[in-house]
Amino acid sequence: PLWVGQMYNLGGFVSAAMVMVGAVIFMKLVSYAHTCSDLRNKQSPDYPANIGLRDIARFASFPTLVYQTNYPRTTRVRKRWLLKRVFEMLL
């Protein structure tokens, strides 16, 4: 990312953002690989079912670095909780 930023003269902020995104993707892939390895070693029934492009895309879209086979979800959007998290992020 730094080389691309220097080659195309993108500036420091864009280069730093590219490095951060690359680091996040790397950490997500390492977490996915470690969890799949643990599930395979435990001979979990979730193991073969959790490998696929759909599952990786779902994990990539979630704001977490730790891969799990099941994520806690609600049936509705909790607006108050969401506004609180957006406010925390802005501070």
Long-range CB contact pairs, 61-67, < 8 A, 24+ = 65/24, 65/27, 65/28, 65/31, 66/31, 67/28, 67/31, 67/32, 67/34, 67/35
Q: What is the pLDDT of residue 46?
A: 72
Cα–Cα distance for residue pair 73/11, rounded to 1 Å: 39
Q: What is the tens place of the pLDDT at every residue in 79-89?
A: 998 899 889 88
Q: Please, what's the largest Cα pairwise distance for the chain?
A: 50
| Residue numbers in the chain where pLDDT is lower than 70 | 1-3, 5-6
